[in-house]
């Protein structure tokens, strides 16, 4: 299979990340599958894609740790010669009353959801600037746009990702690097599996599309933003939510 370019997808052992990894790999991208704790899922995904003739590798890192992220990018550089597309998908969630949220929980959300994006972008950008090309797609949430009760700190962290996206796009635009954001709606992923049946039913009722989104729905938007057809889309937040908002 001819290689189109290279992509690193963080959190690729999860629902949206694994769907994105499959889509990129099956369409000719050399694909780095990042995981933090989901080693078996990442390795199984890599084996599945390799058996289909795809160029893949797995990389482990804690995205909150700058040294670990630097080592991850060095491994990708050695294998693929650099990263053309970065998908910042790794994230943490928390559903809790604001007054019950601890400082440690707040810090964890911002460390993973914001500092993780910062570390990965900082590691990717120098090579993209040298090549004068790159695509960065950050994964936020509709709650980062609208806010959600009982998810105040999560919403705040995802809003920060949107702000980072807009500002970085302006800074990197002259170097022909696009930075965009996808804000998924309610998606049928393991992260939402803890919601009870009534809650899920009410979320479906509130979605004009009449269903939960799928990981593949979001992967398709990510893949579009990584392609040449999206070269003039920069600094934007795409809400893929079935008209929920």
Distances (CA, A) of 108 to 12, 66, 93, 102, 221: 20, 15, 9, 10, 27
The tally of CA atoms less than 13 A away on the side-chain side of residue 188 is 11
DSSP label at 187?
B
62 vs 72: CA distance, rounded Å = 9
The tally of CA atoms less than 13 A away on the side-chain side of residue 28 is 7
Considering the candidates 29, 35, 154, 223, report the single residue annotated as catalytic. Answer: 154
Q: Helix 15-26 to helix 39-51 angle, to the nearest 10 degrees? A: 20
Whether 154 sits among the annotated catalytic residues: the reply is: yes
Q: Which two tokens stand for residue 177?
A: 């690097």
Question: Which of 193-216 are b and which e, b meaning 16 or more Cβ less than 10 Å from the residue's Cβ?
Answer: eeeeeeeeeeeeeebeeeebbebe
Exposed (0-12), middle (13-18) or buried (19+): which is 96, by Cβ within 10 Å?
Answer: middle
Of residues 2, 238, 8, 16, the one with CA closest to residue 134: 8
Give me the active site residues, please: 154
């Amino acid at each position: 299979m001819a290689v189109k370019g290279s992509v690193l997808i963080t959190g690729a052992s999860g629902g949206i990340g694994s769907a994105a990894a499959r889509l990129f790999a099956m369409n000719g991208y050399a694909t780095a599958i990042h995981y933090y704790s989901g080693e078996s899922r990442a390795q199984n995904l890599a084996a599945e894609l390799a058996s289909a003739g795809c160029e893949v590798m797995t990389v482990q890192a804690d995205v909150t740790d700058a040294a670990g992220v630097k080592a991850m990018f060095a491994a990708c550089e050695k294998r693929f010669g650099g990263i053309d597309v970065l998908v910042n998908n790794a994230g943490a969630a928390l559903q809790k009353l604001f007054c019950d949220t601890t400082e440690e929980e707040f810090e964890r959300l911002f460390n993973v959801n914001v500092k993780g994006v910062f570390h990965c972008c900082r590691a990717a950008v120098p090579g993209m600037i040298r090549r004068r090309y790159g695509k960065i797609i950050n994964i936020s949430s509709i709650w980062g746009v609208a806010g959600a009760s009982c998810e105040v700190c999560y919403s705040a962290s995802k809003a920060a990702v949107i702000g980072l996206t807009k500002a970085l796009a302006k800074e990197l635009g002259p170097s022909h690097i696009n930075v965009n954001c996808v804000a998924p709606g309610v998606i049928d992923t393991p992260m939402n599996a803890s919601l009870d049946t009534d809650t899920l039913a009410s979320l479906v009722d509130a979605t004009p599309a009449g269903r939960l989104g799928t990981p593949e729905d979001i992967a398709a938007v990510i893949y579009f933003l990584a392609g040449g057809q999206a070269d003039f889309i920069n600094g934007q937040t795409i809400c893929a939510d079935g008209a929920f908002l």
